[in-house]
Structure 1
């Protein structure tokens, strides 16, 4: 069995706790050991030890034969630790208070004062150990009376076997009840998933999407072919129609009317009579003047015939008749051409309608084909839901039947192979005394360590900061090597505020700040972080130093950076950069300074805006429209804006500034901040709706950590930070 990472980390953490509390724990251990050994010499009465043995099997025989409930009561360790033995767990069960109290009550065991024996005193005389390289537990009890010691061991083993069987049955019954409770819900999920799939198919008329895709492609191709043929025929009909219209000198409607008029006998008769009168009128005008009665009579007849002709033409052509020529008598060829024109026009209209119908049908198929991938994806999702729900339901049904059978066959996998006999000779009291003394001393020292750790609420390691705050670990800044003062094993806060990224670019701290810069870049892959607020829970956690060095690290990437000292309570940046603080942020907010004079350049690509004169009400200045306008201006003129904000337990300014920024960077320093202040700060950030980017653990001392974040080459001229395997994996996760 291999050691799991979780157990390894717990072991390392325990070792670190023991190192911190070694001195008081050792003092308590030696004191208790000495006092216990001295007190034991006053007990001169001999004691007798009775022993019994219990054998365990990995699974009970009935479950192994039936194949049902084989996992119930199976002896196996919870973890994969090689040092974990299931027999040790069963030994602790035998030593548990319920079994011990039942034994005391059943045998009516009394102490020296005639009162029921306390469980604690009983356990001091009880020993349950696994026999090496066997599946057997040895149960021993030491007492002044040999008969009593044997009875206690036998009763204790019997009660344990009863408790073992009852607990297995209770576990099986609990599993069965849970499955019975979940089964209706699983069935309801199946029905809902099936109903949803059915509604989807009914709504979109889905039968087989794959076959529909193939068929749609074929239909679209066939429609395109028919449309091309129709358009070709339509072009031919249009060409013929235009040629016929050119020969006739009229359009199709006029041709229809003229053809109809040429075939109406009433119209033709009037035309013939009109032609005769016109001939007579022309002949009479050769011999008579226009005013002669015959001429006037012929003109009146001609006018009446023309009116009658117009009426009959209107009856044939309709009221909205087109413009017609005067020749209402068509020859045979003209009549054939008119009929042909009418036929071509009819074919043209039919072909246009057919082409439009084919185009609409083709468009409909294309739209359906374009929607098919989306419908297919939805169908697959719904089918997966149905399959998953059906699998869960089937599994629950199977497990329900198995649990019912297993509940009826639950049999313990332990049995007594050797009952305790009445001891004839007393046990070696001195060895037991020493062992008892060592055991009590160990318990006392462990209790001392526990109490001291429980009383100390400070955050001590990087892991504690991660576990307590639950924030993404963006950076681990090692403690400055020049600091020699320690408080409870930690470096004195703010004792060394050198700008290491600028002054010692090859140092481990510089590399840590560059790693912090890289992690921030990975976090802003989708949206670039321009304005970052740096804060902490309490003062002296090094937030100002982190902000200054982070600004230098960003400026070294040829990006234009502005560092703002937003701490109007305890400003520090002007001291770090050795600047005068007569003009700064506060002066800009009240209109007593200009941006060009207040901002000062400290190095390439890096400008610093100090806090300025401390105002009487910093919170109102920072929560003003003027401050919001300044932040917009700074964000527009710089690639990065880093704001050194006050600690959260000093003022709520960090929360105010965080509303104007893209994110908040939370600095934590082990040994300086305690869990209460850190939890309060985190709660404040969450309630104010801040975008907390993550945490930076500052001032980390390697020897105080359960694992080493850094180690260095021995060459004094070149100290390159090398990450441990655990830190490397953390940074890889951040990069992803």
Structure 2
């Protein structure tokens, strides 16, 4: 009897210690009130914080940039394209573009409000920039994105027009110099003929050999220069995607006020159509009205182009939107063509003279 009484108290604590779950339940039964208070406090604070958070609304738009045609075919310049996209992204977030966008928005908007919620990032492996804006107000994101893209387009158009004006001034300033060089070359050729008495070469056998050799050397030199100019012209034409004749026509059209005015109106309508196309369907009255205006302006533009360059010549109206780089290349192309024409005339004259001397 004494042994059973002594052994039972020793076995009970060993069973409790060997099972931690029983110990945990025992603790919870003893401390249920503090545990309940802690759980209720944590749950209440979490619910309060969740109720204070406002939902964010986001709107986004995309801007597509023109890729150089030669780079697109050869896959050369991909890194430069991405760098250009990064540059344009910084331009979109620049103060002039943001200020212009703010002016078109309600007075409640501020620069800080727009910049803080804006995101402009390139889409990988494309020539597209994605413009996004987040706000707790459901009406703000779309308005801000549209205003910012319109502001960027207007700023880019203004910069392109300034570059075009500069390029035209450069072309005009270079033409007199090129023409003077051509006249000087013709005079130098005439003096060469008079000095070497080309008309009397058949009668002067001793001098004719030296003159023929000199003429042949000049012909070889002119052919080399002509070949270099033709290679340069081909490279320039491939880069801008137009021929020398088209470059001359576009240069003529760029100085026509009716053509420029009609093209500007057409671009404005197309920009409005692109913007409202993201908000309305094709059957919406505003979309139909803008499409009618677009068709009317396209027909008017073609008529005015025909009035300037003639009805028998064709120009794609999209080529009228020429950037500063293309205008600079056009200037190089025009200069190369003028030089090539002058060299070709000299070469033809020398070859005719050379043939006359050798036959004689």
- Scaled to the shorter chain, the TM-score interval is 0.3 to 0.5
Greater Cα radius of gyration, structure 1 or 2 = 1
Which has the larger share of strand?
Answer: 1
TM-score by length of 2: 0.43
